Amino acid sequence: MTGMTTARTSLPEAARHLSLRERKKLKTRIAIRNATYELIEEQGYDATTVEQIADRAEVSPSTVFRYFPTKEDIVLTDEYDPLAEELLRARPEDESLLDSMRFIIRQSMSMAIADAPTFAEREMKLRLRLMTEIPAVRSRVMESMSVTSRLMCRAIAERTGRHENDLEVRVYTMGLMGALLEAAIYWTEHDYQGDLLDLLDRALATFKDLPKR
C-alpha cells in the first residue's frame, strides 16, 4: 500500500465521488490514452502497436480493446461532444444559430484548456496532425463528425422549430461540422499559424443562418 497504484495517473477532481471500480476504470482509460500519445510522439502512429500500448499502460491487449474499439479511437475519443449539445441548448432562444455556435466553441475550448493547461494544446495539435497525416485516423474523424452532427441536429431542430430529421436540418448541421473540421485542418496544414478561433469564426461566417420553420 505505497503510492504505487497512483503512480499511473492522477484523476481530475470530478472523479472523487465515483466508486473504486469506476475510478479504476477511469484510470486505465487515461493510462491507455497517455501511453498511446507517448508512444506516437516517440515512434509515430504506424510504428506503434496495440501490444506496445498495452505494455506501457500495464494492461493486457485484451483490455485495450475492451476500452477502445479501434486503435484510432484511442486517439480520437473525447468527452466534450455531448457537452456541446447541452451548451447549445442552454443558449438564449433569440440568439442567432451561428452566434450560438461561436459561443459554444469558445466555451468548450476554454474548458478543455482549464482542465489540463499545457496538455490540452499539445494533445489537440497531435490529434490534428494525425488527422491530416494518417488516413485511417482521418476517415475515423469524418465518421465521428457525422455522429456529432446527428447530436447537434437535435439541438438545432429545437432552435429552428423544425424536426431533427428534417433534410434541411441535417444538411445544414453536417455542413457546419464539415466547415469546422476543414478550418481545423487548414490551421494544421499552415503549421498552427494564427488563431484557431479566428479561423473557426471565418468558417462559420460562410454560412447563412438556417431560417426558422
Confirm if 74 and 33 have CB atoms less than 8 A apart.
yes
Binding to DNA by residue 33, rule CB under 7 A?
A: no
Decide if residue 70 touches DNA (CB under 7 A). yes
Nearer CB in complex with a second copy: 109/185: 185
3 versus 135: smaller Cβ distance to a second copy: 135
Q: Do 76 and 147 form a contact (C-beta atoms < 8 A)?
A: no
Site string for DNA, 121-160 (x = CB under 7 A): ----------------------------------------
Binding of DNA at residue 71 (CB under 7 A)?
Answer: yes
Residues between 47 and 106 that touch a second copy (CB under 8 A): none
Q: Which residues contact 38 (CB under 8 A, 6 or more apart)?
A: 56
Q: Where are the alpha helices (H) located in the chain, listed in sequence order?
A: 20-43, 50-57, 61-67, 71-76, 81-90, 97-115, 117-133, 135-160, 167-189, 196-205
Cell digits of residue 114: 482549464
Q: Which of 6, 49, 96, 110 binds DNA (CB under 7 A)?
A: 49
| Binding status of residue 62 toward DNA by CB under 7 A | yes
Spatial CA neighbour of 5 closest among 23, 35, 33, 38? 23
CA distance 114 to 184: 20
Q: Does 108 bind DNA (CB under 7 A)?
A: no
Q: Between 52 and 107, whose beta carbon lies closer to DNA?
A: 52
H helix or E strand, kind and range, residue 77:
none
* Residue whose CB is less far from a second copy, 158 or 189: 189
Q: By the criterion CB under 8 A, which residues form the site for a second copy?
A: 135, 138-140, 142-143, 145-146, 167-168, 170-172, 174-175, 177-179, 181-183, 186, 199, 202-203, 206-208, 210
